[in-house]
């Protein structure tokens, strides 16, 4: 059995469904999952951090830092916010420009499905992709669904398969293999927005569950957000952000008092309470367990009145620049995104189309464009999906 469509989109995630909503009728989206938009559903604690008010190209990591500019400018966070408003979805802003649904994240999935239906796109779920070939201006894909295998012929093929993060949801490297098959280079991939792990002897497991504001840095990158200690190491927004810039073996710096000079704070305590113990003084500005942990090698039972200015400076320096070397990360199992991917050098930044394979498009997380934590990766999905969809619709108009 053969099914003919104008456009075949591989992947019913954020980018794939957005593309289908704009590619025009006679579009088919296939996905091996039993429900579309599963990463949308689980994102943001079930409320979907669907974009960020501060979205800009410098919040994205890529081998070509300029690649994302065109799509992000032509379909911005304001465009998606307008779409959310047209669908009557209430939302709110959290810290750092992050926008979330007031209700459930499934509202965003419903928005995309409604937009697809209005555009005349079909959706096949529980569909397994077999071979994919190209000849005579058509792509031919073998698709098995409900035990039946069909050949799908399409003028356009869109790779929207995502990356390798969260394999328990079915994530694979399929998109990279397909891209390579059609002559596109793939840059090295690794987990991004992922917790750090440390050996047991580091002792961090004793602080599991403790959270505190912090500034984490590696190289010239620094992030001021919450830090969370876990049984296996470090997590929290600051860690997830930094993980996208960290490389194996690198040391990170943790500033546990980013709000200001700790030496001045301790000096003021010494003047007012000279008999206060150092451990108690640190507990006034850090969570109690963390204060005890950091004070242990510094002499927690020492009176502040017996500390010299040099002693206080040494304590402050330790807490402002706590050096740690992660053994690794939690990997793709918990990574929110995949860094690297289909090399942008082989794609046109205006429409995501392969430069040397007409009709082949690559969008979303499968491409070597990765955003910061906080709605940026969804915005890349909307922008890149829109750009490809618009191009496909225009190609249809040209016959």
143 strand-pairing partners: 129, 150
222 strand-pairing partners: 217
13-35 pLDDT, tens per residue?
A: 999 999 999 999 999 999 999 99
217-273 pLDDT, tens per residue?
A: 999 999 999 999 999 999 999 999 999 999 999 999 999 999 999 999 999 999 999
Provide φ and ψ at 147, rounded to 5°. Answer: 80, 0
C-alpha distances in Å from residue 2, one per residue of 127, 144, 359: 15, 12, 20
pTM > 0.85: yes or no = yes
Q: What is the 3-state secondary structure (H, E, C) of 269-281?
A: HHHHCCCCEHHHH
Give me the domains of the chain, ranges plus CATH numbers.
2-191+337-397 (3.50.50.60), 193-248+324-329 (2.40.30.10), 262-318 (1.10.8.260)
Residues sharing a CB contact under 8 Å with residue 73, sequence separation 6 or more, in sequence order: none
200 near 233, Cβ under 8 Å? no
Residues sharing a CB contact under 8 Å with residue 266, sequence separation 6 or more, in sequence order: 281, 304, 307, 312, 315, 316
For residue 332 the two structure tokens come to: 């793709």
Q: Determine the average pLDDT of the residues in 96-105.
A: 98
164-204 pLDDT, tens per residue?
A: 998 888 888 999 999 999 999 999 999 999 999 999 999 99
The pLDDT of residue 178: 97
Give the pairing type, strands 27-31 and 122-125.
parallel
State the Cα–Cα distance between residues 143 and 150, nearest whole angstrom. Answer: 5
163 near 365, Cβ under 8 Å? yes
342 near 184, Cβ under 8 Å? yes
CB atoms within 10 A of CB 335: 25
148 strand-pairing partners: 145
Report DSSP state, residue 12. Answer: -
State the Cα–Cα distance between residues 13 and 11, nearest whole angstrom. Answer: 6
212 near 282, Cβ under 8 Å? no
The pLDDT of residue 80: 98
32-90 pLDDT, tens per residue?
A: 999 999 999 999 999 999 999 999 999 999 999 999 999 999 999 999 999 999 999 99
CA neighbor of 203 nearest in space, from 172, 160, 234, 170? 234
Asked whether the predicted pLDDT for residue 397 surpasses 70, the reply is no
Residues sharing a CB contact under 8 Å with residue 213, sequence separation 6 or more, in sequence order: 224, 225, 226, 227, 258, 259
Buried b (16+ CB within 10 A) or exposed e, 102-139: eeebbbbbebbbebbeebebbbbeebebeebebeeeeb
* R_g of the chain computed on alpha carbons: 25
């Amino acid at each position: 059995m053969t099914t003919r469509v104008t456009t075949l989109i591989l992947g019913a995630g954020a980018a794939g469904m957005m593309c289908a909503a704009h590619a025009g009728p006679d579009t088919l989206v296939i996905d091996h999952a039993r429900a579309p938009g599963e990463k949308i559903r689980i994102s943001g604690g079930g409320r979907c951090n669907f974009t960020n008010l501060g979205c800009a190209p410098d919040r994205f990591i890529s081998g070509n830092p300029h690649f994302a500019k065109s799509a992000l400018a032509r379909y911005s966070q304001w465009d998606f916010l307008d779409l959310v408003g047209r669908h009557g979805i209430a939302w709110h802003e959290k810290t750092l420009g992050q926008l979330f649904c007031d209700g459930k994240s499934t509202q965003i999935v419903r928005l995309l499905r409604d937009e697809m239906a209005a555009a005349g796109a079909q959706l096949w779920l529980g569909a397994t992709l077999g071979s994919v070939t190209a000849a005579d201006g058509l792509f031919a894909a073998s698709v098995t669904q409900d035990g039946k295998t069909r050949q799908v012929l399409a003028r356009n093929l869109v790779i929207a398969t995502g990356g390798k993060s969260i394999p328990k949801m079915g994530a694979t490297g399929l998109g990279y293999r397909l891209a390579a098959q059609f002559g596109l280079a793939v840059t090295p991939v690794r987990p991004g927005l992922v917790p750090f792990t440390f050996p047991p002897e580091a002792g961090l497991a004793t602080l599991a569950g403790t959270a505190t504001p912090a500034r984490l840095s590696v190289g010239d990158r620094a992030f001021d957000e919450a830090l969370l200690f876990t049984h296996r190491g470090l997590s929290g927004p600051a860690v997830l952000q930094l993980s996208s810039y960290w490389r194996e073996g690198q040391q990170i710096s943790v500033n546990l008092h980013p709000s200001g000079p700790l030496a001045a704070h301790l000096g003021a305590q010494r003047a007012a309470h000279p008999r206060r113990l150092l451990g108690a003084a640190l507990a006034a500005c850090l969570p109690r367990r963390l204060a005890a942990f950091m004070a242990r090698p510094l002499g927690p039972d020492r009176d502040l009145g017996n500390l010299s200015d040099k002693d206080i400076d040494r304590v402050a320096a330790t807490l402002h620049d706590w050096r740690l070397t992660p053994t690794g990360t939690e990997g793709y199992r918990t990574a929110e995104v995949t860094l690297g991917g289909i090399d942008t050098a082989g794609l046109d930044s205006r429409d995501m189309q392969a430069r040397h394979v007409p009709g082949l498009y690559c969008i979303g997380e499968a491409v070597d464009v990765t955003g910061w934590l906080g709605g940026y990766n969804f915005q890349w999905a909307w922008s890149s999906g829109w750009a490809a969809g618009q191009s496909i619709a225009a190609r249809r108009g040209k016959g």
